Amino acid sequence: MKISSIFPLALASLLLPATVIADDGVMDKALLDEAKLLADSGLHYLRQTQAEDGSWSSSVGVTALGLRAFLENRRGYTEGDGPFITRPVKFLLNHVNEDGSISETNQNRNYNTAVAITALQATNNPAYAEIIANAQRYIHKLQLDSEEGYEPDHKYYGGIGYGGDERPDLSNIYHSIEAMKITGFDANDPMWEKALTFISRSQNNSETNDQEWASNDGGFAYMPGYSPHGGTVSYGSMTAAGLLSLLYAGADKNDPRVKAAYDWIRANYTVETNPGAKKNQGLFYYYNAFAKTMRAYGEKDLVDAQGVSHNWREDLTRQLKGMQSKDGSWVNNDSPRWWEGDKNLCTAWSVIALNQVINK
């Protein structure tokens, strides 16, 4: 699969300035205004909970997501707007390590580095180019291949893990390649092809997955041969992440893997739960990945397996409106798994999702 086969319009839309608003009929005007208000109140909450050093939850990852929520908002915040933007940037820069990673901890180094450079890129400040390039090299080095003893037939091949261990998973590689894509990493690097191998092996699609466990619903598990929700079951957050990863890595809408993943989303369409997940685990991760994926896929409406048409922007806006607390925050009341007991994280993810809804 060549990177040149990327369908340019859908992916280019991800890189457009955040101020191109979805006001030309892609969703109901009243709901668009609601989405803007929801995002504003979410950002207001984040302003209130921001620490003196600019961080959220004392975490590089949460801080980077909070920063991204501001920088990609339709209001077009920049570093010129004040300390609420410059301080979190400084917090990220203060956690740049010698190996190029950006993290306050040895765990989560890949996640932290990936979301940190995505946020730094969103500042459009060329002063961070070297830091971003070093972080790209760090992420690139994390990818498992023959250099680490993983040959192409190994289920780990092409994957990327947390950085504190070698066990790769789809969520980590999704964040990694999103960061690499957004920060403009070399499109001809073999990394993309290797990533596609790993992503394909996480999909329940025996036509394109050479692993014996693969079934045929088209959805994605957490990693080859394992789902935290039982066996190798497909679920919403990973299927959205898997589909977006395929698009980032160079697959197009005609690719059988993309078609199968989209069909899974059609068959399991909902914004009320993270479909397929136990106890609604990873619900806000799902909203975030789902919104980005649907925007990248470029369809205004999604027709589900029963033939019912859904405007995903409107559905997600209504759902997030119903879940927002009076203080403007969101939190997963069903399960703290994947850090979703943290209001700052859930709020940042919700605002980023709303930014996808609002921005064309």
Partner 1 sequence: MRRSGIKTVWYLLWILAGSELLATTLPMALPEGECRWLLATLCLTSALVLLYSRGSEPPLAPGQLQSALLAGLGVLAVLTWHLPVTYIATHSLHFQLALGVGILVFSAGGLIQLLTRFTDDPPFSSWMIFCLAVLLASAPLWTGPAVDLIPSPLWGTNLIIAFSPLSYLASLAEWDYLRGEWFYRHSPFGGLRYEYPSAAIASIVYVGIGLVSRYLANLLNRPSATTDARAGISQATP
To the nearest whole angstrom, how small is the minimum distance from the Cβ of residue 149 to partner 1?
A: 7
Measured between alpha carbons, how far is residue 311 from residues 93, 303, 341, 348 in Å? 39, 9, 29, 23
Whether the Cβ atoms of residue 258 and residue 243 lie closer than 8 Å to each other: yes
- Indicate whether 211 belongs to the interface with partner 1 (CB under 8 A): no
Smallest gap from Cβ 174 to partner 1, in A, equals 16
Shortest reach from residue 181's CB to partner 1, in Å: 24
* Position 178 contacts partner 1 (CB under 8 A): no
DSSP helix/strand/coil, 111: helix
Minimum separation from the CB atom of position 66 to partner 1 (A): 16
Q: Which of 237, 240, 342, 352 binds partner 1 (CB under 8 A)?
A: 342
165 binds partner 1 (CB under 8 A): yes
Q: Is 141 in the site for partner 1 (CB under 8 A)?
A: no
CB of 336: closest distance to partner 1 in angstroms? 5
What is the dihedral sign for C-alpha 14, 359, 199, 9?
negative
Residue 149 contacts partner 1 per CB under 8 A: yes
Q: Does 298 bind partner 1 (CB under 8 A)?
A: no
Partners of 226 in beta bridges: 223
Q: Does the footprint of partner 1 cover residue 154 (CB under 8 A)?
A: yes
DSSP string, 159-215: --B-SSSS-B-HHHHHHHHHHHHHTT--TTSTHHHHHHHHHHTTBS-TTT--STT--
Q: Which region, judged by CB under 8 A, interacts with partner 1, from 36-44, 100-108, 122-130, 288-296?
A: 100-108
Q: Contacts with partner 1: how many residues (CB under 8 A)?
A: 25
- Site membership for partner 1, residue 106 (CB under 8 A): yes
Does 162 bind partner 1 (CB under 8 A)? Our answer is: yes
What distances in angstroms separate CA 264 from CA 120, 247, 269, 277, one per listed residue? 34, 16, 8, 14
Nearest Cα to Cα of residue 119 among 165, 170, 26, 55: 55
- Residue 161 in contact with partner 1, rule: CB under 8 A: yes
* DSSP code at position 74: T
Q: Which of 107, 124, 188, 216 binds partner 1 (CB under 8 A)?
A: 107
| Residue 337 sits in the site that holds partner 1 (CB under 8 A) | yes
**From start to end of the chain, where are the E strands?**
301-303, 309-311
For partner 1, the binding residues in 219-248 under the rule CB under 8 A are 226, 228
Phi-psi region of 255 (alpha: psi -120 to 50; beta: other; left: phi over 0): beta
Q: How far is the CB of 96 from partner 1 (least distance, A)?
A: 19
> Based on C-alpha coordinates, what's the Rg of the chain?
19
Tell which positions 1-30 bind partner 1, by CB under 8 A.
Answer: none
Strand partners, 220: 203
Write the Ramachandran bin of 302: left for phi over 0, alpha for psi from -120 to 50, otherwise beta.
Answer: beta
- 217 contacts partner 1 (rule: CB under 8 A): no
Contact between 164 and partner 1 per CB under 8 A: yes
Round to whole Å and give the CA distance between 355 and 19. 10
Q: Which residues lie near partner 1 (CB under 8 A)?
A: 59, 105-107, 148-149, 154, 156, 161-162, 164-167, 226, 228, 281, 333, 335-339, 341-342
